[in-house]
């Protein structure tokens, strides 16, 4: 019984020591790209005629805006130059049928996809 208690105490203290070291460790990742897009949303969503894709950008950059159907076929593509801060892309339904679509904002370092619904 004493051996079991001793082993339990040793394991618990080793685990606590390991957890303490993890909290004090600082990891610096130098070559990892930083996120440049945030607050991405479509309003209104669902929509009938048009929607506005809103997003924030931390740098001036070129963004590829694409819309795909659920089968993965690209139905719309546009190159957009973003500015620092608030940006908006107006997307018109044109001849697209009702249903769900996936829109993507792609920069040199990141790809962000969300859904929109046409009523």
Segments making up each domain of the chain, as ranges: 37-118
In angstroms, the first-to-last Cα distance of the chain is 70
Residue pLDDT, tens place only, 80-103 = 999 999 999 999 999 999 999 999
Residues 110 and 37: beta-carbon distance below 8 Å: yes
| Confidence at 69, pLDDT banded by 50, 70, 90 | very high
**Which uninterrupted H or E stretch holds 17?**
helix 2-24
For residues 22-36, average pLDDT: 65
CB-CB contact of 46 with 116 (8 Å): yes
What is the homologous superfamily of the domain 37-118 according to CATH? Macroglobulin (MG2) domain (2.60.40.1930)
- This prediction has a pTM of 0.72
Place 62 in a pLDDT band, splitting at 50, 70 and 90.
very high
């Amino acid at each position: 019984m004493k051996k079991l208690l001793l082993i339990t105490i040793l394991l618990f203290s080793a685990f606590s020591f390991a957890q303490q070291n993890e909290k004090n460790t600082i990891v610096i990742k130098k070559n990892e790209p930083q996120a440049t897009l945030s607050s991405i949303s479509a309003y209104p969503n669902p929509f009938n005629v048009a929607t506005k894709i809103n997003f924030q950008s931390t740098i001036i950059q070129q963004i590829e805006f694409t819309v795909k159907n659920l089968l993965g076929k690209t139905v719309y593509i546009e190159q957009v130059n973003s500015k620092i801060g608030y940006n908006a892309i107006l997307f018109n339904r044109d001849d697209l049928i009702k249903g769900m679509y996936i829109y993507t904002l792609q920069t040199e370092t990141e790809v962000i996809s969300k859904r929109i619904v046409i009523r």
